Structure 1
Amino acid sequence: MKGEAVRGFPPLPAEEADLWSAKPGASRALYLVRTVVAAGLICAWGDDEDTAVMADSEGRVVVPVWPHPDFAIREFGPVTPDEKPIPADLDRFLEVWLPGLAEDGYGVAVFPVGARIAVTWTPAQFASKVRAERAKLR
């Protein structure tokens, strides 16, 4: 699956993945917002029943998200029949996933690399960042 298109995602060159994985958290967060808005897609990790969760540095339960499945594979891979990247349409993520995360009291772990989360945002903060980026493009 690595390096192949995954349900709407174009292949991600390894050099680009290496470059962004090595960037500091603030740069990865900005890249994620810009990329998911441009593509209209976002990626989580899990199985057919559940989405993976992790704890941030303050012990909050968060759902990790990435701008491309290859980043998720780098973090949680390899892909198995039980676990894989979960691509999501960005609008569905905003309208369905985020309210569910808010209801559960979960945050959004933005672009973790080596278990280092770029930033943890509440669902409302994540939605606000996406809306602001979309407004810039109008």
Structure 2
Amino acid sequence: MAQDDISRGEADRLRKLDDEARVAKTFEVIAAKRALWVWGDEDETLFTEDGKRNTLLPIWPYATVARLDNEGEVDGEHAIKISVDVFLKEWLPQLAEDDADIAIFPVEEMPAGVVTLSDFRSRLSVAQRVN
């Protein structure tokens, strides 16, 4: 198991947390590990939509929880690690252009929370000060 990943048992435990705890854990881990995980393949990243058809980028704090939510759906897709620096400098501007928000730690396609890009940046900043 990679140093920045967790066991299946730990992933199952995290997936059972309530929404607020999953959101808090996500920001805590992203701040500490300086990375987050998305899902996709070599060419594309998985996006989803909410009930109002707003575009959302699902993110996870660990590859294992991303895999548990997505594996087996499409051949060739996998968890993709993104450093915080790259996410802030490259991904957030692109997400802003696409008018997308961020779906935090979805479990069975239900995000623990949805945050705007500015909320993501603010919450990450707070989490980084704590770590």
Per the TM superposition, whether the score is higher than 0.5 is yes
CA distance in 1 between counterparts of 2:50 and 2:113 reads 9
Aligned pair in 2 of structure 1 residues 132, 63: CA closer, same or farther (>3 Å)? same
Give the counterpart of 2:20 among 18, 26, 43. 26
Give 1:56 shift. 2.2
Contact 2:7 2:64 in 1 (8 A): no
Which residue matches 1:124?
Answer: 118
Which residue matches 1:114?
Answer: 108
Percent sequence identity is: 27
Which residue matches 1:101?
Answer: 95
Aligned pair in 2 of structure 1 residues 93, 38: CA closer, same or farther (>3 Å)? same
Which residue matches 2:65?
Answer: 71
Higher relative contact order (CA 8 A, sep 6+): 2
Q: Which runs of 5+ in 1 are unaligned?
A: none
Contact 1:99 1:123 in 2 (8 A): no
CA distance in 1 between counterparts of 2:85 and 2:5 reads 22
Instruction: Work out the number of aligned pairs and report it.
Output: 131
Give 1:80 shift. 6.5
CA distance in 2 between counterparts of 1:96 and 1:132 reads 21
User: TM-score normalized by structure 1?
Assistant: 0.88
Extract structure 1 runs of 4+ deviating beyond 6 A: none
Give 1:23 shift. 0.9
CA distance in 1 between counterparts of 2:22 and 2:51 reads 17
Contact 2:4 2:33 in 1 (8 A): no
CA distance in 2 between counterparts of 1:22 and 1:12 reads 15
